[in-house]
């Protein structure tokens, strides 16, 4: 899957790159705080999702699920998004962008892996060099908002210090400091404000208060009918 990114550098320059992603890895249960992890496990258990076999846990989904379109289509009303940082390698360097681990919550009670596979994975179109934010990584924040009953509502908000550092996750997964070429990884999420729930639109951001900049992406969700 070839994706286009506008890479923003500290000097203000922008470079358009084409990244060939042939493997997508989703790092689940990637929190640093075991209490917070347990809270998220219980949050999902409340809607019938079985406990993970280990933490963190690395899921694979087909690279064909990745999309930079502004709309995704899902079957039924049981899916929802999760804002996550996306890291990927390009020409020997790690870059940072955004993704949503959009998941079918009804299927999640049967198989977490399948619930992730059946939904598209929206990807942002802007990226940063990881080296530019590595020194103050824990001060970054991820946020998401949803459109619910016609109103924009805060859905998620939390610091990256709540999650394992991408380099830690990369080392655990690939036993190396660098992701192999063509591999992208989403790096975990933070809890929701209120219950996990569907929405007509999902908006996500990665905020850097030190360099006073942010990455943002949004997508609409079109519901396809369930038929049998």
Torsions phi, psi for 53 (to 5 deg): -75, -25
Question: pLDDT digit of tens for each residue in the chain (228 aa)?
Answer: 899 999 999 999 999 999 999 999 999 889 888 787 787 788 778 877 788 888 899 999 999 999 999 999 999 999 999 999 999 999 999 999 999 999 999 999 899 999 999 999 999 999 999 999 999 999 999 999 999 999 999 999 999 999 999 999 999 999 999 999 999 999 999 989 999 999 999 999 999 999 999 999 999 999 999 988
**Residue ranges per domain, the chain?**
2-224
Tokens 């609409």 belong to which residue?
Answer: 220
Tokens 């699920």 belong to which residue?
Answer: 65
2-224 CATH choice from 3.30.470.10, 3.90.850.10, 3.40.50.300, 3.40.50.150 = 3.90.850.10
The per-residue pLDDT for 37 is 79
Query: Can you say whether residue 48 is alpha, beta or left, with left for phi > 0 and alpha for psi between -120 and 50 degrees?
Result: left
Q: Tell me how far CA of residue 191 lies from CA of 134, 157, 187, in angstroms.
A: 23, 8, 14
Q: What pTM was estimated for this model as a whole?
A: 0.93
Provide the 3-class DSSP secondary structure of residue 174.
helix
149-173: buried (b, 16+ CB within 10 Å) or exposed (e) per residue? eeeeeebbbbebebbbbbbebbeeb
The per-residue pLDDT for 89 is 94
Provide the 3-class DSSP secondary structure of residue 114.
helix
């Amino acid at each position: 899957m070839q994706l286009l990114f506008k890479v923003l550098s500290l000097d203000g320059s922008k470079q358009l790159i084409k990244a060939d992603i042939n493997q997508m890895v989703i790092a689940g249960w990637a929190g640093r705080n075991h209490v917070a992890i347990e809270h998220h496990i219980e949050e999902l258990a409340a809607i019938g999702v079985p406990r993970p076999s280990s933490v963190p846990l690395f899921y694979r989904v087909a690279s064909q699920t990745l999309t930079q379109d502004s709309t995704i289509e899902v079957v039924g009303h049981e899916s929802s998004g999760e804002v996550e940082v996306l890291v990927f390698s390009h020409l020997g360097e790690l870059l940072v962008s955004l993704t949503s681990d959009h998941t079918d919550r009804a299927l999640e009670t049967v198989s977490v892996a399948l619930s992730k596979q059946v939904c598209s994975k929206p990807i942002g179109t802007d990226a940063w060099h990881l080296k530019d934010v590595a020194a103050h990584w824990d001060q970054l924040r991820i946020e998401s908002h949803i459109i619910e009953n016609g109103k924009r509502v805060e859905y998620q908000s939390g610091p990256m210090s709540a999650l394992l550092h991408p380099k830690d996750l990369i080392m655990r997964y690939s036993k190396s400091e660098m992701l192999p070429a063509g591999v992208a990884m989403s790096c975990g999420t933070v809890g929701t404000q209120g219950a996990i729930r569907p929405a007509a639109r999902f908006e996500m951001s990665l905020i850097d208060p030190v360099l006073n900049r942010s990455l943002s992406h949004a997508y609409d969700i079109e519901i396809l009918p369930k038929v049998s």
